[in-house]
Amino acid sequence: MSRFPDASLRPGLLLAAALALGIGAPARAAEPLRVGIASNTWSFAPLQLGIDEAIFAKAGLDVQMIVFAGAAKLQQGMVADAADVAMSGSTDMVYLAKGAPEICVGGFVGLPEGLGLIVTNGPIKSGADLRGRKIGVSSPSALTGWLGMEFGHAQGWPRDAITLVTLGGNVPTQAAALLTGQVDAIVSDTAVGYDLESRGQGRLLMPSSAYVKDFVTNVIYASTSLAKEHADTLRRFLAAYYEAARFARTHKQATVASGLKISGLPEAVVARQYDDTISMFSADGHITPAQLANVARAVVDVGMMDTKPDFAPFYDPQFLPAGH
């Protein structure tokens, strides 16, 4: 008797075996996920890294990064269903308290090491020299606005000791305003200071982390529809994102390459920013009650709310990966 089944049965058996092994089966299409970011800065390098290193792809996700012109535009995009996830400043939690259909699902930057006060090579030699000066920010009600205000507070100055000037979220526009003398300093990406220094035009006066403590600078927001109807998608995204953030800490060359795509700045500048700020990226996304309390204080300081809100109900850590 033949060791093989009847020839007429072979095709069906071979097909069944192939399907069992995954041979010839169609590959599962990656699930698209629209992720909005507030600006094209270093803070979003791990997101780009996750795309470049196929970390999201391995999680079955096709992450589509969308750059918005500042936090306000990003939040408008979330309300208009132009993005599923938003990565932006923690002070944007005020929109959730005012009814935006989102929840905060984790932090991704702790202390604001990647933001700072940047000046030209002029009369500003120290923080004390900024009294009575103009400081450019994306918006007085945005995170950069609060960082400018908090700088004055840390100096012990009254609120009118500095003037905040709205410049919008475009980083080249901010740098141009500084160089043309429209403002005396800007609160912006620290890489701008490094870039100006390399050109002999300016420098980073100090990182904002020099005067801000126990704070979460940037967080991840998810639309309520994504969280309710596609919870597994959200969990896979967060797990992949924090995997990318951890990968970044031990893979400088790849992270710098991704940072170059985000910022467009010279490689030496991005490499320096990596060395100075890689520790600011959260490896697990967890936010402490003290950090939330300081974010609540910030939104009152900038006049976004009259009384200090309780942001705890708008932060849901259940989607974060376990074990980190």
CATH number of residue 196's parent domain: 3.40.190.10
Identify whether residues 204 and 235 lie together within a single domain: no
Q: How many domains does the chain have?
A: 2
Identify whether residues 262 and 124 lie together within a single domain: no
CA 103 – CA 234 distance, rounded (Å): 12
How many C-beta neighbours within 10 Å does residue 77 have? 17
**Which pair of tokens denotes residue 124?**
């500003």
Identify whether residues 61 and 154 lie together within a single domain: no
Specify the DSSP element, H or E, that contains 35.
strand 31-37
pLDDT tens string, the chain, 324 residues long: the values are 333 344 444 444 444 444 444 454 445 678 999 999 988 888 999 999 999 999 999 999 999 999 987 788 888 999 999 999 999 989 899 999 989 999 999 999 999 998 999 999 989 999 999 999 999 998 888 888 999 999 999 999 998 999 999 998 778 899 999 999 999 999 998 989 999 999 999 999 999 999 999 999 999 999 999 999 999 999 999 999 999 999 999 999 999 999 999 888 889 999 999 999 999 999 999 999 999 999 999 999 888 888 999 999 999 999 999 865
Amino acid at 188: S
CA 284 – CA 54 distance, rounded (Å): 19
Identify whether residues 145 and 258 lie together within a single domain: no
Q: Is 216 left (phi over 0), alpha (psi -120 to 50) or beta?
A: beta
Identify whether residues 273 and 199 lie together within a single domain: no
Q: What domain range is 304 assigned to?
A: 31-111+215-319
Specify the DSSP element, H or E, that contains 284.
none
* Stated pTM of the model: 0.83
- Cβ atoms of 244 and 57 closer than 8 Å: no
Identify whether residues 186 and 229 lie together within a single domain: no
